Amino acid sequence: MNITPLTLAVATFALAAHASADALSLAQEEARTSGEAAPVTTEEASPWYFHAAAGGNMMFESDFKNVPYTMKFGAGVAVDLGVGYSLNKIFAVQVQTGVAWNKIDSIEGPFVSGGEGDVYQVPLTLNLVMGFPVSENWNLGFSAGGGIQWASFDGSGVSGGVPYNYTSRSFAFRYQFGVAATREIAHNMTLGFGIRYSGTTSLDVGFNGEKIKGLMNLALGATFKLTF
């Protein structure tokens, strides 16, 4: 059997074409079944979030407006709850409420000494929140806002040797400022700690119809944020 150069060339070309077709088919099958060929989708974070804080609450003593008396307070606790909306990566707006309790230590002044009681504060404020990254996981945040506050006073004391009781429920304007350091613990959760100062306009405490100049608070505690 004589194999001519033309026959050898045709046979070689056919074998090469067949091998190339097999390699191409194998490559296409691997690309089809490979996980890298699947489209990758990412879920966009929601702008809505829930915020909470809890800790101790210290109140500064408050003078009365028209009489030379001073109301003094003991240590207490505060819990804040809020819902916020992130405008962008830095700014957010937040509606906040909560409750704070403190002990009334005494009312001090001429012919008045001692006494005790309780004061509760329930605010409703609208706040502007700003957050800035300071490291890979830590953020530093600032907040400022204002709104209304309901306050409840119940106490007793001694005036001129005669015991007395006082009770009041009243509203006032409230303003507040806060600073917090937070750390991301999951893709939608942060934990941290912060400090917040708040104050109010004058309030009726139910003591002989007199008003105090306002309530001043300094709250310090832990914070938590959950993005919906």
User: What does pLDDT average to over the chain?
Assistant: 86
DSSP state of 87: S
Q: What angle do CA 196, 202, 207 make, to 5 degrees?
A: 115
Residue 26's alpha-carbon distances to 15, 29, 204, 222, in angstroms, are: 17, 5, 85, 58
Residue 178's alpha-carbon distances to 98, 129, 143, 144, 175, in angstroms, are: 15, 9, 5, 6, 11
- Given pLDDT bands bounded at 50, 70 and 90, which one contains residue 6? very low
CA–CA distance, 228 with 127 (Å, rounded to integer): 19
Helix runs in the chain, H state only? 5-33
Task: Please say whether the beta carbons of 164 and 158 come within 8 A.
Answer: yes
Count other Cβ atoms within 10 Å, centred on residue 165: 12
Q: Residue 114: which residues within 8 A CB-CB, separation 6 or more?
A: 106, 157, 158
**Identity of residue 15:** L
Dump pLDDT digits (tens) for 12-58: 434 444 444 454 455 455 545 554 544 444 456 799 999 999 999 99
Task: Please say whether the beta carbons of 104 and 119 come within 8 A.
Answer: yes
Q: Residue 202: which residues within 8 A CB-CB, separation 6 or more?
A: 65, 172, 211, 212, 213, 214
| Res 168: pLDDT | 96
Q: Phi and psi of 25, rounded to 5°?
A: -65, -40
| Residues written for the chain | 228
| Res 129: pLDDT | 98
Dump pLDDT digits (tens) for 204-224: 999 888 999 999 999 999 999
Percent of the chain residues topping a pLDDT of 70: 81
CA–CA distance, 166 with 174 (Å, rounded to integer): 23
**Identity of residue 7:** T
- Given pLDDT bands bounded at 50, 70 and 90, which one contains residue 110? confident
Closest to 71 in 3D by CA, of 182, 179, 208 = 208
Average pLDDT in the 181-210 region? 95
Question: The tokens of 98 are what?
Answer: 């909560």
CA–CA distance, 172 with 203 (Å, rounded to integer): 6
- Given pLDDT bands bounded at 50, 70 and 90, which one contains residue 162? confident
β-bridge pairing 91-108 and 112-133: antiparallel
| Res 23: pLDDT | 47
